[in-house]
Amino acid sequence: MQKKSTILGGLLGNLRGSATITSGSLLLLANAIVVLLGLIRTPLVTWVLPKDEVGMIGVVAAWFPFVQLLSLTGLDTAAYHYSSKGQPGAFRVNLQYRLRWSLLSALAFLLGAVYWYTRGDQLLFWMFIIAGITFPLTAGLSACVGFLSAEQRFSSLFWYRIFESLTDFSGFIPLIFSTWAVSKVITFYGTNQLATMLMQVGVTLAILQYFRQAKTSQLPPSERTDMVRYGKHLTGISVVSVVHTRIDAFYVGMFLPLQTMADYSIALILYEQLKKLWIIYTTIRYPELVNIQVMHRHRRFISEGSLVWTAFIMIGFAVVFLAFWLVPVLLPPVYISSLVYISILTAAFVIGLPGNIAELFFRTCQDEKRQYMLRMLAAIAAVLGPLLLVNQFGGPGIALGRLVSNLVLSLAGLILFLNAKNKELPG
């Protein structure tokens, strides 16, 4: 009992160090505000737009993670890793590469527009055109978040998260005045993308201005090469990870009715709120964890990871409870069917968290082999699971397939983590 008390006290002492509590509280406050804004925005969208058009927004969102991979998204994490180790010049390198490669993602969206045009869906055609045109100056500038996190500028990150969420409300402005082009959903989506683009460009220019004033040094050529190589590796892992975490929504968008896509999108919104909480945790803890000796880091992940998982289990129960209470009140009656997907996807997130904790450990060690093994097993389950269950259970079968893949992720992650020997780990 005394030993457990010592471990818990030491852990809490570490969490209190380096202003972790203050920064964590700030980001948790930002997330609470973002969730509140989401709770306001989501019902508004479901009341303002027909359910089919809400499903169209979900279709674009389902394509987005796959298309985004073409812009070398792993460079964001690589730049964050190097910035956390005292190399802020990694931001410039990331920006240069991401902007160039984002043109491929833009092209992919434009090809998607051609696909929907051939299927006779004019609205999805225009939405994919908008996504393609705006991609380089929206998602292509996503390195800002990593830089602010690595520099531990949590006050700036707080406001970034708030304004990022507020841009999603800009689409309501023309609808309030009954002014729209082509349709409500096209105007709504296009205005949101324009607002996001203006915000991302502004933040990026502000960071570059800071570099000029601070006379930040360039990343040495050797480290630049290593960072790009590591970023490409992380993109490779992201391919597997996106297949694991996003193929279910892609299946729904491609093969099931738009109304089912709308229900699934509501569930994914809540799933993303849980994911944001996880990102807040990793954002705060990564710079410290990555600098702990591997032997001590392994023990830290066992104790700290257990507490984090327990907390998320309780949060998961709270999310489902609130969903069954609020969805019938806030959303139109046609969205009651989304409660099934909310329950399954929330359970899937909680079940998959031990695997994410193990993957985070291997990422801090730059252990590429185990990261690939872990994500590959989960991706295979994610591809096959929904296909095997959809015929019997329909849309819920796809969600159950995701749950199964997350279970595989956690089982594989625990096995690899517990069997990892310190001398075998790279960093």
Write the pLDDT tens digit of every residue in 163-194: 999 999 999 999 888 777 778 999 999 999 99
DSSP letters along 311-331, please?
A: HHHHHHHHHHHHHHHHHHHHS
**Dist. CA 21–CA 405, nearest whole Å:** 34
So what's the pLDDT on residue 407? Answer: 95
Which one-letter DSSP state was computed for residue 168? G
Mean confidence (pLDDT) of the chain: 86
Looking at 41-55, 125-139, 281-295, which range is the least confident one? 281-295
* pTM for the predicted model, two decimal places: 0.80
Q: Which residues contact 314 (CB under 8 A, 6 or more apart)?
A: none
- pLDDT at 30 > cutoff 50: yes
So what's the pLDDT on residue 24? Answer: 65
- Cα distances (Å, whole numbers) of residue 213 to 90, 164, 331: 17, 26, 49
Closest CA to 256 of 145, 390, 144: 390
Closest CA to 245 of 225, 274, 287, 220: 274
Confidence tier at 22 by pLDDT (50, 70, 90): low
Copy the structure tokens of residue 401: 């397939």
Confidence tier at 10 by pLDDT (50, 70, 90): very low
* Radius of gyration for the chain, computed over Cα atoms and rounded to the nearest angstrom: 21
Write the pLDDT tens digit of every residue in 358-402: 988 888 887 778 888 888 999 999 999 999 999 889 999 999 999
Rounded average pLDDT over 71-77: 87
Residue environment code for 30-67, b if the CB has 16+ CB neighbours within 10 A, otherwise e = bbeebbeebbebbbebbebbbbebbbbbbbbbbbbbbb
Looking at 19-28, 81-90, 129-138, which range is the least confident one? 19-28
So what's the pLDDT on residue 315? Answer: 94
- pLDDT at 6 > cutoff 60: no
| Residue 413, SS3 per DSSP | helix
Question: What are the boundaries of each domain within the chain?
Answer: 2-424
Tokens 């705006």 belong to: 134
